[in-house]
Amino acid sequence: MADSITITDNRTGESIEVPIIDGGVDATAWAKFLPGTWFHDPSFGATSAAASAITELDGENGILRYRGYPIEQLAESSSYLEVAYLLIHGELPSPEQFEDWRYEITHHTFIHENVRKRFMEGFHHDAHPMGILVSTIAALSTFYPNAKDLSPEVVNKQVIRLIAKMPTLAAGAYRHSVGMPFVYPDNSLDFAANFLSMMWKTAEPRYDANPALARALDVLFILHADHEQNCSTTAMRTVGSSHADPYIATAAATAALYGPRHGGANEAVIRMLTAIGSIDQVPAYIEQVKAGEERLQGFGHRVYKNYDPRARIIKQTSEEVFAVTGKNPLLDIALKLEEVALSDSYFIDRKLYPNVDFYSGLIYQAMGFPMDMFTVLFAIPRTAGWLAHYIELLAQDSRIYRPRQLYVGHPVRDYVPIERR
Ligand code: SDX
């Protein structure tokens, strides 16, 4: 039996055989065979938009690998900065490569003073940090006009700047929202500890984060670093396909992540748990979800039809965090929700399991982050994944994204002057 499919056009009786390669069927063949007839897949639920070597998901078996390495091993043994190198360059770094990479990232954490003084300080005190982040990332493109040069060595410079500056922009947005002075990066600290310093430092000469919390945040950064063709990565590749510069493309991806169906879900989970209020209200809430009146935030996934492997690791990490911070009182409600949902046919039939966002918000809240910073905490590490996809797209020299459509509007009709309407 050949690894292929045969398409027959019953209007003509003609057929073509198309090979199945890498789990897919190339559209070129059937586009020629069926001119003007399109396979309709509005949310790309069954359509591949890219051939990518960065991340592999197996939704049925709950598998996630970055460049072939299982997420469980990376979370256990690696660091976000090393994983970022792996995603961008395709291989784990040698000690010398890692030291160069760490030096470059550490020495590009500063932002131009005007980004802080002119942009961040121009926002309302209660501006949502994601709105500030999207805007300031886009603004960076005006500070680095040579970023329009998409040659590999120039793109790589912007990649280092973006990975390095995201924590600075993120913490700056937070400090502005609470009326605290901006904290400059401390180059003697590692990636996660420096971010925590820029978030929480007050009058002390140096902010030393609790090592257990810094490590837990670094693990969360690893888990959020990439996730193949998710909504925001598709935005990155779409905008990148027009050859917009890396800052503009990253701003578009960050904007896509903001939505509550995507990166905004971790914030929505905490709001949901808070609204439920107590364990004994869980059954009533589950009934509202089953009646379609509510959504079980942090549950369900387009790809995972099994437990999201990241949720399992985050749940383990939460125990280490709560050992330092004290248990988040919403955890018991979350555990009860999970227990009830995983034994209810409504969720089982729809293969709805906790996803990456179900427990992450509990950790962020226990670590003192306000809810409107949760999606920002997702955007910081996902920048490495977005940029890996941007680089891959340019290297593949793929064409500009331009899907077709099924036109279902009015047939042709003549204009009617307003006095005759
Ligand atoms: C992320 O793509 C990625 O990789 C994303 C991400 C990443 O790392 O980039 O993993 C990060 O975005 C995780 C998802 C975070 N979002 C949430 O937790 C929000 C709540 N979840 C959903 O809105 C939903 O599950 C989605 C958006 C995640 C997935 O939506 P799909 O694939 O379009 O699924 P669907 O809406 O077609 O749902 C299938 C059925 C429907 O029921 P029926 O209409 O068939 O009766 O399941 C139901 C849905 O109503 N359903 C839910 C549900 N999610 C789906 N019912 C209740 N609660 C939910 N959370």
Whether 183 is covered by a domain: the verdict is yes
Enumerate the β-bridge partners of residue 299.
354
Q: Are 233 and 385 in contact (CB under 8 A)?
A: yes
Residue numbers of the domain that contains 228: 69-262+371-395
Whether 299 is covered by a domain: the verdict is yes
Q: Are 352 and 300 in contact (CB under 8 A)?
A: yes
Q: Do 311 and 208 fall within a single domain? A: no
Q: Are 57 and 227 in contact (CB under 8 A)?
A: yes
Amino acid at 156: N
How many structural domains comprise the chain?
A: 3
Instruction: Return the ligand 1 atom nearest residue 43 CA.
Output: 33
Q: Do 14 and 85 fall within a single domain? A: no
Whether 146 is covered by a domain: the verdict is yes
Q: Do 297 and 225 fall within a single domain? A: no
Return the residue matching tokens 């439920």. 276
d(C-alpha 292, C-alpha 296), whole Å: 10
Tokens coding 71 = 């997420």
Which pLDDT score is estimated for 46?
93
Q: Do 227 and 250 fall within a single domain? A: yes
Q: Are 47 and 39 in contact (CB under 8 A)?
A: yes
Which pLDDT score is estimated for 117?
83
d(C-alpha 331, C-alpha 308), whole Å: 18
Whether 151 is covered by a domain: the verdict is yes
Which pLDDT score is estimated for 118?
85
How many angstroms does the Cα of residue 249 sit away from the middle of ligand 1?
25
Which pLDDT score is estimated for 307?
86
Tokens coding 175 = 């400090």
Q: Do 254 and 348 fall within a single domain? A: no
CATH code for position 318: 1.10.230.10
Find out whether the beta carbon of 235 lies less than 6 Å from any atom of ligand 1. Answer: no
CATH code for position 227: 1.10.580.10
Return the residue matching tokens 């693990």. 219
- DSSP for 207-254? ----HHHHHHHHHHHHHTS--SS-HHHHHHHHHHTTT--HHHHHHHHH
Return the residue matching tokens 């300080």. 121
Q: Do 282 and 356 fall within a single domain? A: yes
Query: From the centroid of its chain, how far is CA 42?
Result: 21
Return the residue matching tokens 């000690």. 95
Q: Which residue's CA is the nearest one to ligand 1's atom 1?
A: 262
Whether 46 is covered by a domain: the verdict is yes
- DSSP for 312-372? HHHHHHHHHHHHHH---THHHHHHHHHHHHTTSHHHHHTT--B-HHHHHHHHHHHTT--GG
Amino acid at 203: A
Q: Do 15 and 137 fall within a single domain? A: no
Q: Do 116 and 254 fall within a single domain? A: yes
Torsion (CA) 325, 326, 328, 334 in degrees, nearest 10: 110
Q: What averages of pLDDT result for each successive group of 10 residues across the chain (421 residues)?
A: 91 94 91 91 94 95 96 97 98 98 97 89 91 96 96 98 98 93 95 98 95 97 97 98 98 96 90 96 95 94 89 92 93 94 93 91 94 96 98 93 95 97 96
- Give the phi and the psi of residue 9 in degrees, each rounded to 5: -90, 105
Find out whether the beta carbon of 357 lies less than 6 Å from any atom of ligand 1. Answer: yes
Give the other-Cβ count within 10 Å of 39's Cβ.
Answer: 12
| Alpha helices in 241-276, H assignment, sequence order | 246-257, 265-276
d(C-alpha 46, C-alpha 207), whole Å: 48
How many angstroms does the Cα of residue 271 sit away from the middle of ligand 1?
17
Give the other-Cβ count within 10 Å of 316's Cβ.
Answer: 12
Q: Do 207 and 149 fall within a single domain? A: yes
Q: What is the pTM of this model?
A: 0.94
Q: Using alpha carbons, list the distances in angstroms from residue 253 to 228, 385, 421.
A: 13, 11, 44
Find out whether the beta carbon of 305 lies less than 6 Å from any atom of ligand 1. Answer: no
Whether 411 is covered by a domain: the verdict is no
Whether 412 is covered by a domain: the verdict is no
The helix (run of H) or strand (run of E) holding residue 162 is helix 152-177
Q: Shortest CA distance to 109 belongs to which of 159, 191, 160, 164?
A: 164
Q: Do 336 and 241 fall within a single domain? A: no
How many angstroms does the Cα of residue 389 sit away from the middle of ligand 1?
23
Whether 407 is covered by a domain: the verdict is no
- Residue whose CB lies within 8 A of the most ligand 1 atoms, among 301, 304, 307, 346, for a mutation test: 301
H helices, E strands: number in the chain: 18, 6
Give the other-Cβ count within 10 Å of 367's Cβ.
Answer: 21
Q: Which residue's CA is the nearest one to ligand 1's atom 24?
A: 300
4-24: b or e for each residue (b if 16 or more CB lie within 10 Å)?
A: eeeeeeeeeeeeeebeeeeee
Bridge-based pairing state of the strands 14-21 and 24-25: antiparallel
Q: Do 46 and 97 fall within a single domain? A: no
Q: Do 238 and 320 fall within a single domain? A: no
